Amino acid sequence: TADDPAARVKPRATPQRLPKAIPIHEVEAILEAASASDGTDAGEVVAVRDRALLELLYATGARVSEAVGCDVDDLLRDDDGRIGAIRLRGKGSKERIVPVGSIAAAALDAYLVRARPALASKGRGTARVFLNTRGAPLTRQSAWAALQQAAERAGVGHVSPHTLRHSFATHLLAGGADVRVVQELLGHASVTTTQVYTRVTPDALREVYLTFHPRARSDEPTAG
């Protein structure tokens, strides 16, 4: 058989796309926008729910499917009765415990007291934390729609279901968190998956260079 030169040509590797994270101020704008209500009682209930959901996603780095799959008993309280952590079920039904910060915990408690009972009264009873307006468990698609709507109101574009998860990981690593700790929080089986968050974009690299290199700025005095 004649040698086929094309068989020796290695295909070009597909470049690995960096996870899409957004700045902290855009995350905060989305979280604030989630609280927007149309002024009706029903609208207020949904707004309280959506704020709690999005606060939880950013506070824990949970996948949307993990968040909507949580039961009330998965909200773990400390000795003072405050929500301190949540039990998440990831890929392969693998469980992990993730801390919940005070702001997200307060939003969750507000939802459990002010909104969930009203939603639960419309349904047949479920242990799920997040409910829709018919009292049934909130779906992944509805949770994604809530994030989209909040982002639109905040004027933040190009969000995806993983936007808050990506931002959670990126902001932790930028703040000095160990990559293996972030791996555990995200529920990644391999640290290699988490390490993609440690890669910097060209813009970020340039900003660091301009900030720290002593001769990078054009306004530096030159020798006369």
Count the alpha carbons within 13 Å of 79 in the hemisphere toward its beta carbon: 0
**Of 91, 122, 199, 213, catalytic:** 91
Specify whether 180 is catalytic: no
**Residue 165 annotated among the catalytic residues of the structure:** yes
Catalytic residue among 49, 128, 165, 166, which? 165
Q: Is 188 a catalytic residue?
A: yes
Q: Which residue among the candidates 51, 89, 128, 162 is catalytic per the annotation?
A: 162
**From 111, 116, 166, 197, active-site residue:** 197
How many C-beta neighbours within 10 Å does residue 35 have? 17
3-state helix, strand, coil in the chain (%, to 5): 55, 10, 40
User: Residue 43 corresponds to which amino acid?
Assistant: G
The sign one gets for the Cα dihedral 33, 39, 43, 44 is positive
Under 8 Å between Cβ of 115 and 45: yes
Residue 217 bears catalytic tag: no
Is 171 catalytic? The answer is no
Rounded CA separation 204/75 (Å)? 37
Active-site residue, selected from the candidate residues 63, 89, 116, 128: 63
Rounded distance between C-alpha atoms, residue 210 and residue 208, angstroms: 6
The residues annotated with a catalytic role in the active site are 63, 91, 162, 165, 188, 197
